[in-house]
Chains A and B, each alone.
Chain A
Amino acid sequence: MIEVTGLEKHYTVAEKEPGLSGSIRSFFSRKSKTVKAVDGVSFSIASGEMVGFLGANGAGKTTTLKMLSGLLHPTAGTATVAGFTPFERRASFLKTITLVMGQKQQLLWDLPALDSFQVNRAIYEISDADYAATMLEFTELLDLEGILKKQVRKLSLGERMKCELAAALLHRPKVLFLDEPTIGLDVNMQVRIREFVAAYNARFNATVILTSHYMADVTALCKRIIVVDKGRIIFDGDLSALIEQSSPAKIVKLQLESSVSREHLETYAPVQRLDGLFAELLVPRAETSRVSGRLLSELPVADVTIEDPDIEEIIGQLFQSQRVQPLPTLESVTQ
C-alpha cells in the first residue's frame, strides 16, 4: 500500500542571532543552512497494516507524513501510496487518503461541526446514502450525539478532536496519516480515539500510520513500529520483537504474605527490587510461566502480576545505544 525508497527532504532554514541587533542584521542579510529533516528513509507498509511512527520532536515524522500525503516534494527518493505518486496530488489520490494533525484544525470555528461536514461532503462528492451511513456509524463509534450541532468554538478539546476525526474520515479514506491525534487529550478521550481508529481500521481495512507522543497509543494500536531519529530509521519491526530483543526478561511482581529472604528469591530469578513484602523479579521470557508457577506454589504469594518492561524506557535505550545501527533481525542470528 505504501512503498518508500530512499526518501529525503532538506529544508533551508534561516538562522538568526538573538535580540534586536540580531533581528536587524538578519533583516538585511539572512544566513541560512540546510537541514536534513528526512535523510534516506525506506519502508514498505501492507494494506490494512497499522504502523506506529516514533521519534523525538524534529526527528522527521511529520515531514515524512507530509511527503506521503503530497504536501511536500521529496528532495530525493520515491514514495508510492495506493499506487499513486503523492506529490502529483491527483484528485483520486487525495480521495483515498487523509491527514489528521492533532495540532491543527480544519473545522469551521464559528459553525457547528455539521456545517463543516456538509462542506467536506460536497468537496469529496460523497453520495447521500454513503454520507448517511458513515454519519450513523461515526456518531455511534465516537459518541457524537449532541455535540454536532454546537459551534466548534464552544466544544471541549476532546469533543473537537472527535469531530476533526469524523470530518477527516467522512470520505472513508483507505490510507490514514494520523499525526499526534491525541495530543493534549485526557486519558479517557485518548482511549476513545484509539478505539475509534482501531474500529475504523477493522471495518474498512484501512492502512494507518500513526505518530504519537503517548506510547500507549502506539502499543494499543500498532504491532509494528518505525523509530526515526535525525531523519533516519533506527528501528523498523515488531513492537514485541523490539521488546524481546532489548529486554529479554519480563517483570514478575509479587505481593507476599510473609517475608522471604532475598537469597531465597534469587534461587528463582534475579531480584530487581525487594521492599518488605513486595518483590520484583526479572524472569527470562521463555521461562515466565514455569517460574511463576513455581513461585505461586512454593512461596506465600498473595498476588502476582507479570509485566513487560516500560516501553518508553526501551525506546529511550534504543535512542542512546543504537543511534544508527538497526537492531539485528532474527535471520542474521542464524549465520
Chain B
Amino acid sequence: MRRYWRLIGIFAASSISAQLEYRANFVVNVVGSLLTALGSLFGLSILLGTGSSLGGWNQLEAIVVVGVFTLVEGFMGVFLYPNLNKIAESVRTGSMDFTLLKPLDAQFLVSFRNIGILRVTDLLIGLGMIVYATAHLGSSSASGVLTAALLIVAGFASVYAIWLMLCTTAFWWIGVENITELFWGFFRAGQFPVTAFPGWGRILFTFVIPVAFITTVPAEALVGRVEIGAVFGALGVSLLLIVISRVFWRFALRGYTSASS
C-alpha cells in the first residue's frame, strides 16, 4: 500500500514537470480557470439574487450543492480526464502495451499516471464555495461535516467507476475518446438539488445515473438535513460501482488484443 502512495507521488511529480514544460499553456490555463470560476459565481449571483428557493433549498444551501458539484468537477479535471480519457488513445496507438508490461496493477497505472495540475483551481473554488455557504448557514455539525467528507469521497469513487467503465469500452470500440461526454451530459444536472427536478428526473438521477448521491446527498449532510438511508444509499452505490467497474476492467483486459504493427 505504501508503495502505491509513493508511486502516486512520483507519477504526480513527473506529470506536473511535463506540464510546466509549456509555460505559456500553463499561464493560459490558470487564467482560463479563474475566468470560468468568476463566470459561474456571477451566474450564481443572478440565480440567488431573486431570493426564491430551488426545490426546497434556499440560496446558501443551493450554493453548497454548486460547491460540491464544482469540487467533483475539479476531481474529474485533475484525476479522471488526464488519465482515463487517454485509454482510448493508448489502445489505438498501441502504447497500452507498455502499461500492461509493467509489474504493477494496470488499472492503477491507467488511473493515476497523470495529474491535471491546472484544474486544481476548480477543487479550490468548490471548496471555497462550500466553506463560505456552510459558514453563513451555521447549521452544520461536526458529524455532518465528517459525513459529508465521507460522502464526497464516495462520490469521487462513483464518478471514477462510471468514468472507468465508459473509457474501458475503448478496448472494443477503438476511437471512443469522447465517450465520457455521455456521462458529462447527465452529470451537469448535479449542479441543482435533485429535489428541484420533477418526479421522473428524481428517479433517473437517483437510481439510473446516481448523480443525486454524488452532489445532493453530500450537500444535505453539510447543511444538516441528511437522512441516514440516503447516506447508506450513497455509500452502497459507490461501493457497488467500484466493484462492478473492477470486474468490467478485468473482463475488458482479457479481451484486449493490442493493435498489431
* Mask of B51-82 contacts with A, CB within 8 angstroms, 1/0: 00000000000000000000000000000000
The distance in angstroms between the C-alpha atoms of A110 and B95, with both chains bound, is: 16
A92 with B95, Cβ < 8 A, contacts A66-B258, A118-B10 known: no
Contact, CB under 8 Å: B6 / A122 = yes
A111 and B21 within 8 A (CB)? yes
Is the CB–CB distance between B14 and A108 below 8 Å? yes
CB-nearest residue of chain A relative to B18?
A110
The reply to whether A92 and B14 contact each other, CB–CB distance below 8 Å, is no
What 0/1 pattern do residues 94 to 129 of B give for CB contact below 8 A with A? 110110111110000000000000000000000000
Taking CB atoms, residues of chain A closer than 8 Å to B10 are 118-119, 122
- Residues of chain B lying within 8 A (CB to CB) of residue A103: 261
Among A45-53, A93-101, A262-270, the one that faces the other chain is A93-101
Q: Which residues of A contact B100 (CB under 8 A)?
A: 70-71, 89
A104 x B94 contact (CB < 8 A)? yes
Whether A95 pairs with B103 at a CB distance below 8 angstroms is yes
**Residues of B contacting A116 with CB < 8 Å?**
14
| Chain A residues within an 8 Å CB radius of B178 | none
Q: Which of A72, A91, A110 contacts B21 (CB 8 A)?
A: A110
Interface hits, B5-27 → A, CB 8 Å: 6-7, 10-11, 14, 17-18, 21-22
| B74: min CB distance to chain A, Å | 23
CA distance A71 to B196 in the complex (A): 49
A190 close to chain B: CB less than 8 A = no
- Interface size class, chain A: 35 or more
B contacts with A: majority SS: helix
Q: Least Cβ distance of B111 to chain A in Å?
A: 14
User: In this assembly, does B136 line the interface, its C-beta being within 8 Å of a C-beta of chain A?
Assistant: no
- Within B153-200, which residues are at the interface with A (CB < 8 Å)? none
State which of B7, B17, B93 has its C-beta within 8 Å of the C-beta of A122: B7
Q: Do A115 and B14 have beta carbons less than 8 Å apart?
A: yes
In the complex, are the beta carbons of A91 and B103 less than 8 A apart? yes
Least CB distance from A59 to B in Å reads 12
B interface residues, how many (CB within 8 angstroms): 25
A103 to B93, CA, bound (A): 10
Complex CA gap A118/B15 in Å reads 12
B93 to chain A, nearest CB (A): 7
Residue among A92, A98, A119 with the most chain B CB within 10 A? A119
B260 contact set on A, CB distance < 8 A: 11, 37, 62-63, 66
**A-B CB contacts (within 8 Å), total count:** 73
Instruction: Determine the chain B residues whose CB is within 8 A of the CB of A118 once the complex forms.
Output: 10, 14
Q: CB distance A119 to B97 under 8 Å?
A: no
In angstroms, Cα B97 to Cα A62, docked, is: 12
Residue of A nearest to B21 (CB): A110
Cα-based distance from A260 to B261 in the complex (angstroms) = 53
Alpha-carbon distance A103/B10, docked complex (angstroms): 27
Q: Is the CB of A71 within 8 A of B14?
A: no
Instruction: Encode A199-228 as 1/0 by CB contact (under 8 A) with B.
Output: 000000000000000000000000000000
Contact A62 B18 (CB under 8 A): no
What is the bound-complex CA distance between A37 and B97, given in angstroms?
A: 18
Are the C-beta atoms of B14 and A106 separated by less than 8 Å?
Answer: no
B45 interface contact, C-beta 8 A: no
Q: Does B139 contact A (CB under 8 A)?
A: no
Instruction: Judge whether B36 is part of the interface by a CB distance below 8 angstroms.
Output: no
Assess the B18–A111 pair: CB atoms within 8 A.
Answer: yes
Contact A104 B17, CB 8 Å, known A92-B103, A123-B7:
no
Q: Is A69 an interface residue (CB 8 A)?
A: yes
Among A141-169, those with CB < 8 Å from B are 151
- B97 contacts A124, CB within 8 Å? no
B102 adjacent to A123 (CB under 8 Å): yes
Check A72–B98 contact: CB distance below 8 A.
no
Which has the most chain B C-beta neighbours within 10 Å: A62, A71, A98, A111?
A71
A104 partner, pick from B6, B7, B95, beta carbons under 8 A: B95
Asked if residues B97 and A71 are in contact (CB atoms below 8 Å), the reply is yes
Binary contact readout A14-43 vs B (1 if CB under 8 angstroms, 0 otherwise) = 000000000000000000000001000000
List A78-132 residues whose CB lies under 8 Å from chain B: 89, 91-92, 94-95, 97-99, 101, 103-106, 108-111, 115-116, 118-119, 122-125
Contact A108 B257 (CB under 8 A): no
Contacts of A125 in B (CB 8 A): 3
Residues of A contacting B102 in the complex (Cβ-Cβ under 8 angstroms)? 94, 123-124
Which B residues lie within 8 Å of A98 (CB)?
101
What are 13 A-B residue pairs whose CB atoms fall within 8 Å in the complex? Answer: A11-B257, A62-B261, A63-B260, A69-B101, A91-B103, A92-B103, A94-B102, A98-B101, A104-B97, A106-B98, A110-B22, A122-B10, A124-B102
Q: Which residues of B contact A (CB under 8 A)?
A: 3, 6-7, 10-11, 14, 17-18, 21-22, 93-95, 97-98, 100-104, 254, 257-258, 260-261
